[in-house]
Structure 1
Amino acid sequence: MAHPLLSIDQVSVRFGGLVALQKVDLVVETGRTTAILGPNGAGKTTLFNAVAGVVRPSAGSISFDARDITAALPSWRCRQGIARTFQITQPFADLTVRENVMVAVTSRGVSMRAARAEAEEYVDFVGLGGKIDEPSRTLSTGQRKRLELARALATKPRLLLLDEVTGGVDRPSIPDILDVIRRLREERGITILVVEHNMEVLFGLADDAIFLNRGEVVVAGPMAEVAEHEAVRRIYLGGDDDA
């Protein structure tokens, strides 16, 4: 019987007296895109960071490909196939687009010469071929988001964690970014876990979703069903920030 790629079992996270997550369960199946939803302070970022290895659970466990990674370092998780992007992009400003991606390629032990050619493949995939030898500081916000995707792709992930991938991006640039993300799954077979506030984006992207409030799971399941839940509709469609 096939096992899920990512399994979160009864995970709780406490920061002193603050309970950020309380007994959260989540299963992410291979080849699917799962969204983490919730109001500000719901625990979305904490859950995301627990999967990335930045935050260690106070209780519960996290498994990747049927292997317990609860205490594993972020660098080890990356080598096993977990990559992430950041809400605020952090490219090396003085390096070119190609060189930024080469940094990620060489982290796998690839030679500089081989990394140069391999980086070009990833830059072309995200649609930045025309900017490949330009300094990354010259890129627009949308282009920097695509550079983030290229750098993540260069680590050869099986699970990609996307943090507000359309945040700060001008509306006309969003469809191209979403197209790249869909192709990551369809052409590269990458499973995706995404934190995103834009429900319009998620409807065109996510298969499944989990909705958190005050650190607890309110509802989880197919994206279309989760979106119809009363608490989700109140926050995302009614403008209320308290479920």
Structure 2
Amino acid sequence: MWLLDGFAWLYDLNRFTGTLLMWFGVLVLTAAVTMNVQSNRGKLWGFMITTAGAVFILVYLESLKLVGADKAIKGVVSNFVVMTLGGLGSGLLAVAITQGPTPEEDKQARGFIRDRLLDALEYAFVYVAICAFTVFAVCLPLNLLGWPPVDEHDLLSLLMVCLGALLGYAITSRPNRLRNWEQLGGCALVALLLLLSPVYAQALSGLWEWSWAAVLGLHGFAALALLRTIWFHRSEWHST
């Protein structure tokens, strides 16, 4: 308990002690990861930890209600966090890029993409395509009838999301299309999914305001149906 009491005392010492403790924690975690995983993967993990930690600390600093001299100190602390954690993350990323993966790391990465990532992305693209097409098919006649929550921009966004998800599914369903391009193709597919997500969320904003229960119900039913299909196919595969 004395350790927790000491931590609480340090945290409450002044308005910026908590920030410095979080900064120190990010440094320790980054050092632990990079020292225990002495490969390019460890350096990439260290880069992500420092980046996420810096963003979290800066958001925390912005949330503080400061007046007078504390505002100037906040600027100094923010610059300190950016220079130290940002510099550390940039250095780790530069080393990981310039060194390049070892043959064993490259083989492991390609195997992970073929055996795990592409399967997960295939299911994700199928789910997004089904949901987007269903919402589009339901909302199109309602829009023609002048139903307010759905406009032409939302319908166009839903159509773009559906087509983008179908494109992603067409690629992930045939892993041979990414032969010798697994890492670049995997990154591109993840980027495509991340790009479609906010577009889809924006297209659903009108429906969400009208009936969030209907939106959740549709997506929940689609998720259950997809999980049931996955379980059925895996059961068939194990039985054979």
- How high is the TM-score relative to the length of structure 1? 0.25
Using CA pairs below 8 Å that are at least 6 residues apart, which structure has the higher relative contact order? 1
- How high is the TM-score relative to the length of structure 2? 0.25
Larger Rg: 2
As a proportion of its length, which structure holds more helix? 2
